[in-house]
Amino acid sequence: MPSLVVHYAFVGLLAATLLGAAFDKRSLLLSILVVTFPDVDAFIGLYWQAGHRAATTNLVIPAVLALLIGVDLYVREESYIKNRWGAYGVRVSWFCVVVYVAGHVLLDLITGGANLFWPLYDQFYQLSGHLELSTQRGIVQTFVELPEPTSEGATGGGSSAGGGSTTQAMGNSSEVQMSTGVDPNPGQSEPENVDRVFPIARSGWELVVLVVGTLATTARLVIGHDLPEE
């Protein structure tokens, strides 16, 4: 599961490429705060079984946030966001929703799983698989299991040609508790000398995201996006 610094680097990369003229230290700091918030459930898990990757790492919270932003911008006669921050506030507000979903929830979904629809539906999911183009089998994907046509042309069940779906339901919050540095052994008593591990990068792709995202964010802060005058 990605460390917070990997989340930060990925969000910095998104901010440097998507925010455009709204990219500055203030919007970057807000993005970092937003992408940090889902990990609050690591502390909630100390007192409640619906803890890490459930209580705040879900799609329900950003959906509510998007609804509130939409009502303010497009339903109310006078938008608080537009009146207070103008076009800058509109862009940053929607970007915060993107940050919550793509910068944290989806990254967790592909690296260990997340309780996507908690509290509306209590089930952890993990997304894994592959997508490829084969000269013999055409487009092959194993993220979602699709029914295959039978020899008579009817539709039958079964796994895809690439080996079946590897996306899986993992269990509800009473069955799945995620280990964290805050709570290494959730639901169990801890020895006095328990090893608390706070990861930085646990795979090659995480290290690449960490390095590239950090460099891109730094470069954007230092260089900006305007061409130098000749």
Domain chopping of the chain, boundaries: 4-119+178-223
Q: What is the mean pLDDT of the chain?
A: 84
Look at residue 162 in the predicted model and tell me its pLDDT. 43
What are the residues whose beta carbons fall under 8 Å from the beta carbon of 112, sequence distance 6 or more? 1, 53, 126, 178
Structure confidence at residue 202 as a pLDDT band (50, 70, 90) = confident
Report how far residue 102's alpha carbon sits from residue 217's, in angstroms, rounded to the nearest whole number. Answer: 17
Structure confidence at residue 170 as a pLDDT band (50, 70, 90) = confident
Q: Is 70 exceeded by the pLDDT of residue 164? A: no
23 phi/psi in degrees, rounded to 5: -75, 120
205 phi/psi in degrees, rounded to 5: -70, -35
Q: Is 80 exceeded by the pLDDT of residue 205? A: yes
User: 126: burial class by Cβ within 10 Å (0-12, 13-18, 19+)?
Assistant: middle
Report how far residue 142's alpha carbon sits from residue 71's, in angstroms, rounded to the nearest whole number. Answer: 38
Q: By C-alpha distance, which of 104, 131, 89, 98 is closest to 35?
A: 104
Q: Are 42 and 186 contacting, i.e. CB atoms less than 8 angstroms apart?
A: no
Q: By C-alpha distance, which of 58, 185, 40, 165 is closest to 122?
A: 58
Look at residue 187 in the predicted model and tell me its pLDDT. 67
This prediction's pTM: 0.81
Structure confidence at residue 228 as a pLDDT band (50, 70, 90) = low
Look at residue 150 in the predicted model and tell me its pLDDT. 53
Q: How many residues does the chain have?
A: 230
DSSP string, 42-61: HHHTTT-SS-TTTSSSSSHH
Structure confidence at residue 160 as a pLDDT band (50, 70, 90) = very low
Q: At what angle do helices 4-18 and 204-223 cross, to 10 degrees?
A: 40
Q: Are 65 and 96 contacting, i.e. CB atoms less than 8 angstroms apart?
A: yes
pLDDT in tens, 18-38: 999 999 999 999 999 999 999
Percent of the chain past pLDDT 90, that is, above it, reads 48
Q: Are 41 and 52 contacting, i.e. CB atoms less than 8 angstroms apart?
A: yes
pLDDT in tens, 104-137: 999 999 988 899 999 999 999 998 888 899 888 8
Structure confidence at residue 57 as a pLDDT band (50, 70, 90) = very high
Look at residue 62 in the predicted model and tell me its pLDDT. 97
202 alpha carbon, distance to own chain's centre? 17
Q: Are 76 and 139 contacting, i.e. CB atoms less than 8 angstroms apart?
A: no
Q: Are 147 and 28 contacting, i.e. CB atoms less than 8 angstroms apart?
A: no
Q: Is 50 exceeded by the pLDDT of residue 222? A: yes
Q: Are 58 and 100 contacting, i.e. CB atoms less than 8 angstroms apart?
A: no
Give the strand pairing for 124-126 and 155-156: unpaired
